[in-house]
């Protein structure tokens, strides 16, 4: 492999060098500054691949917006559509507005930091999305560095924006009972019930099929989701750990199965217009996927009628988790029900809702310590 160690330089770092043919002319590609041989080899392979694919652009001719256009195209084939749409939205509406017309080689840390400051000071985006913008900029410029288009990645010199955690809002048992009592006549009662008793996400509930419910073993398999816009059903959950099997109590299962009877009646009334191919548990009167917007409209309408604290639909998931933890359920089990990647996420998210856990722990320790 044409990878070398610069023994004459003080930093003793690695570099790569290779020749390639372009327009019947041979050109030399050289990139310095790699800490390890492996890092230099990986960067060289990426650079060669980009040249072979025809996606490599000479640094001197590249504006940041042109490079980001190619970066987005590369991402499109490697991430889910919903993730790509989010990347595209943040790039086109926020990143390129500030950095798009700057030459790739001339972008500096000050310009990146100014973008973050502007977004935060003007409340244009949540702290989570500002952090996502940093991740995008850093990832893109890191690729430009590996490809030899810039001498260093300026984003590595900028502190990642701090994410301010929003306080999790949940209902207590009385509020749950009031809501469900008002919602019992709603067409989407079973959707609300599933959120409260299983902790499933909105997209997971709207993507749930009857064949995903194991009636005999009283379990639900989360293997499909509906997009935020309600236009696409996708295999798999939000994350790999989100693909899971959840136990469901018999009372909830009974309520959900009642809705299947209603759907069979609608299928007969609305035939042949009825679309039964999706097999969805939550669907419109003609069998189509239910728009998340319509579900939320019904949800907030019921909250207004109930006169209880207004929370988001996603907070039903938080409510489920907090109730389980307050009952003393092992956090590992709660984490598995929610589809978290690890139990630490669960504890970080909900620990502040459980002020009595430490007290209970201390009391139990005291009984053991002073038992003699």
- The DSSP result for 64-98, as a single string, is HHHHHHHHHHHHHTTS-HHHHHHHHHHIIIIIHHH
Helices (H) and strands (E) in the chain, counts: 15, 8
- CA-nearest of 242, 172, 171, 235 to 200 is 242
- CA-nearest of 120, 147, 146 to 133 is 120
48 & 86 share domain: no
89 & 195 share domain: no
235 & 130 share domain: no
* End position of a domain, from candidates 164, 190, 209: 164
Side by side, which strands form the sheet with 219-222? 213-214, 219-222, 244-247
pTM of the predicted structure, to 2 decimals: 0.70
Does any domain span residue 313? Answer: yes
Q: How far is CA 50 from the centre of its chain?
A: 28
- CA atoms 351, 353, 355, 356: torsion sign: negative
pLDDT band for position 356 (50/70/90)? Answer: low
Distance CA 186, CA 122 (A): 40
Q: What is the CATH number of the domain that holds 345?
A: 1.10.443.10
Does any domain span residue 368? Answer: no
Tens-digit pLDDT profile for residues 94-119 = 999 999 999 998 899 999 999 999 99
Q: What percent of the chain has pLDDT over 70?
A: 91
Tens-digit pLDDT profile for residues 289-327 = 999 999 999 999 999 999 999 999 999 999 999 999 888
| Summary mean pLDDT of the chain | 87
What 8-state DSSP symbol labels residue 220? E
94 & 121 share domain: yes
73 & 21 share domain: no
Q: What is the number of structural domains in the chain? A: 3
Burial per residue of 104-118, b for 16 or more beta-carbon CB atoms within 10 angstroms, e otherwise: beebeeeebbebbee
238 & 275 share domain: yes
Full domain range(s) for residue 154:
62-164
Whether the per-residue pLDDT at 280 is higher than 80: the answer is: yes
Task: Please tell me whether residue 29 adopts helix, strand or coil conformation.
Answer: strand
Cβ count near 58 (within 10 Å): 10
Q: What percent of the chain has pLDDT over 90?
A: 51
Does any domain span residue 44? Answer: yes
Tell me what pLDDT residue 114 has.
Answer: 95
287, 276 contact by CB (below 8 A):
yes
154 & 181 share domain: no
């Amino acid at each position: 492999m044409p990878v070398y160690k610069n023994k004459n330089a003080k930093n003793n770092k690695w570099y790569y060098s290779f020749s390639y043919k372009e327009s019947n002319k041979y050109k030399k590609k050289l990139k310095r500054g790699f800490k390890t041989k492996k890092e230099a080899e990986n960067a060289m392979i990426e650079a060669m691949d980009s040249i072979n694919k025809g996606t490599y652009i000479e640094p001197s001719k590249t504006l940041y917006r042109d490079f980001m256009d190619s970066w987005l195209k590369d991402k499109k084939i490697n991430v889910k559509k919903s993730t790509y749409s989010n990347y595209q939205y943040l790039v086109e509406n926020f990143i390129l507005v500030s950095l798009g017309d700057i030459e790739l080689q001339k972008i500096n840390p000050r310009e990146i930091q100014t973008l973050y400051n502007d977004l935060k000071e003007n409340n244009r985006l949540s702290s989570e999305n500002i952090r996502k913008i940093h991740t995008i900029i850093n990832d893109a410029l890191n690729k430009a560095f590996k490809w030899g288009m810039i001498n260093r990645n300026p984003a590595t010199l900028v502190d990642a924006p701090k994410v301010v955690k929003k306080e999790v809002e949940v209902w207590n048992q009385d509020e749950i009972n009031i809501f469900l009592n008002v919602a019992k006549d709603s067409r989407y009662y079973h959707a609300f019930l599933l959120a409260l008793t299983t902790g499933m996400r909105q997209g997971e509930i709207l993507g749930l099929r009857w064949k995903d419910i194991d009636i005999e073993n009283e379990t639900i398999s989360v293997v499909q989701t509906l997009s935020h816009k309600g236009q696409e059903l996708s295999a798999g959950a939000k994350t790999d750990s989100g693909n899971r099997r959840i136990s469901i109590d018999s009372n909830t299962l009974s309520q959900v199965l009642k809705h299947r009877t209603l759907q069979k009646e609608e299928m007969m009334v609305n035939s042949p217009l009825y679309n039964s191919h999706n097999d969805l548990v939550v669907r419109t009167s003609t069998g189509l996927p239910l728009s998340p917007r319509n579900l939320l409209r019904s949800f907030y309408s019921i909250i207004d009628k109930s006169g209880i604290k207004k929370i988001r639909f996603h907070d039903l998931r938080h409510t489920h988790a907090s109730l389980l933890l307050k009952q003393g359920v092992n956090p590992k089990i709660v984490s598995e029900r929610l589809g978290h990647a690890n139990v630490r996420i669960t504890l970080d998210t909900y620990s502040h809702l459980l002020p009595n856990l430490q007290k209970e722990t201390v009391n139990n320790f005291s009984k053991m310590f002073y038992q003699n």
